[in-house]
Amino acid sequence: MQIAAKPSDENLRLKTLFSYDILDTDGEIVFDELTQLASEICDTPIALISLVDPDRQWFKAKVGLDVSETERDIAFCSHAILQQDLFEVCNALEDERFADNPLVTAGPEIRFYAGTQLVAPNGQPIGTLCAISDKPKKLTDKQKKALTILGREVIAQLELRKTMLSLAQANQNKTDFLSRISHEIRTPLNAIIGFSDILIERESDYNLPDEAAEYVRHISFSGKHLLSVINSVLDLNKIEAGKMELANEVVILATFLRDIHGMLASEAKKSGIELRLDLADNLPATLSVDRSKLAEVLVNLMNNSIKFSDAGQHITVKVSLSSNQEICFEVIDEGIGISAADQAKLFSKYQQVGNHQRGGTGIGLCLCKGFIELMGGTLHVQSEEGKGTHIKFYLGQGAASTKITEQRNPNKQLIASSLNVLIVEDNPLNQMVAQALFQSLGCIVTMAATGEEGVSLATEQAYECIFMDIQLPGISGYQALQQIRDAGVDTPIIALTADVFSSDYLKEGFDGFISKPMERAVLINVINQTLQSHQ
């Protein structure tokens, strides 16, 4: 038996092989099918995708063979990777290189072998696609050509697989980075917005001078605007990462639309613009939809129309039922319009189009498109420079009905008075914000600065609700949750987080979650829902 020599550039060859991160991975249908096709084309009972590493040949895919690898020294493929063209052994018993090879003298009793090199783009042969039989034979020219083409397809699929893994890793790195950025930015914003809103709410108690009160309102507005921009960027990336989820609820459609119109009509009026609402008579009474996302889309589109329209013009928001029973939403304005060149890049992230002097980040329309597609709809834009813009999108009715089965509870106040809560929060400023916010709701507040302290308090004293920050010094919020549950405490625990990318809090055992900065109405809603479900 002759042992194949090592290629002269073996180190580079192995580096190339390892770069595919393919060795010892599970089977994949695309490689299984290519191997099956090689077996059928070459009319052989065995076909393999064989990758040659330092000590063995390992089979990514195989037909007609039970083992997953053999020693490199006895592998026919070790010889094949040294060739320039397809390597064929018509009768191994008559070939002195293989006559006494264990793979010939014992199972699988190889008599015929044909292998085409799997050559990476850098010219390195990492293995073979081979056809094997226990009977002598010879491939036709057509079979050789077909096997060679299939070998190139194997490499193409390996390259595609490597690219997809690289993109997945890059996306994960981006998600991890944005998750950290989300936490670092939203945490101080929680303090800025929280303190300013408390000052505004209790302005008379603090006897603030009019000028100081005006400054506080500006701080609150600016903080919320910054938070809105940050949320838009994070939402876009959540959509890309596949982590954006829908929270459908049944809404009374006409009321929902009139509320949004009423909110923006006064703003439009300040600019001398009339905002009209045209609702078709045959609209369904209710619509099952993610209320907040649909509202964000409509508000964004209406605000854009207001921003790019001038005094004396009017904007029409039209909602009708299409011929295929989809809800058609239209926003039509008489504004400055969008040029053909700008329309081509309208949905490019972070790229402003049109008149930059009218503001905007270039995120809004891209986010609207993402939300609409997430809800199963389609978005269309028609515009002519100087003549206005017509944007429409369609949504299915979902679980639309004439009967309200689920209503949004505004929860203006807590269902439990003097609620005894434990808050686990390490940031001193956010402790102050939380203390003031919860006390303004009539809660009795106990504060813990670490997970360990939170566990100790939760297991020694009785609380009606616990708010647990996730990122804590020492043990994390997840670990603190587990230790509290292990101690037999079943108090509802709500995750408190500035990381909008994590969405598995309920799966991890939390009874609810709320994002920083905490909004009063949202906080009340979360507490009430959690207490109701825990009864």
* Model pLDDT for residues 252-298, shown as the tens digit of each residue: 999 989 988 888 888 889 889 999 999 999 999 998 888 888 988 99
- The pLDDT, as a whole number, for residue 399 is 38
Predicted pLDDT at 503 = 57
- Residue partners of 212: CB distance under 8 A and separation at least 6: none
Considering the chain, what is the average pLDDT of its residues?
Answer: 86
Share of the chain above pLDDT 90, in %: 51
For the cut 60, the answer to whether the pLDDT of residue 349 exceeds it is no
pLDDT band at 411 (very low <50, low <70, confident <90, very high): very low
pLDDT for res 402: 33
DSSP state of 68: S
pLDDT class of 356 with cuts at 50, 70, 90: very low
pLDDT of residue 28: 93
Q: Name beta bridge partners: 420.
A: 444
DSSP state letter for 25: P
- Angle at which helix 141-201 crosses helix 210-240, to 10 degrees, equals 160
Indicate if the pLDDT at residue 164 is higher than 70.
yes
Q: Is the dihedral of CA 276, 282, 286, 288 positive or negative?
A: negative
pLDDT at 408: 42
Q: Which two tokens stand for residue 482?
A: 């587990």
Edge-to-edge strand ranges of the sheet holding 46-52: 69-71, 56-63, 46-52, 125-133, 112-119, 87-89
Q: Please spell the DSSP secondary structure of 232-267, one letter per residue.
A: HHHHHHHHHTT-----EEEEEHHHHHHHHHHHHHHH
List, in order, residues 6 or more apart from 453 with CB less than 8 Å away: 424
Backbone angles phi, psi at 44, to 5 degrees: -125, 150
Q: Taking 50 as the threshold, does the pLDDT of residue 32 lie above it?
A: yes
pLDDT band at 351 (very low <50, low <70, confident <90, very high): low
Separation between Cα atoms, residue 515 and residue 470, nearest integer Å: 11
Of residues 403 and 61, the one with the higher pLDDT is 61
247 vs 116, more confident: 116
| Residue in 295, 288, 287 with CA at minimum distance from that of residue 247 | 288
Question: What's the whole-number mean pLDDT along residues 424-428?
Answer: 91
- What's the pLDDT score for residue 353? 55
Q: Please say whether the beta carbons of 241 and 176 come within 8 A.
A: no
- The pLDDT score that the predictor gives to residue 407 is 40
User: What is the arithmetic mean of pLDDT over 22-47?
Assistant: 95
Beta bridge partners of 114: 88, 131
pLDDT confidence tier of residue 498, bands split at 50, 70 and 90: confident
pLDDT band at 241; cut points 50, 70, 90: low
State mean pLDDT over 95-111: 96
Q: What is the pLDDT of residue 175?
A: 67
Q: What is the pLDDT of residue 348?
A: 63
Segment 320-343 mean pLDDT: 89
Average pLDDT in the 77-98 region? 96
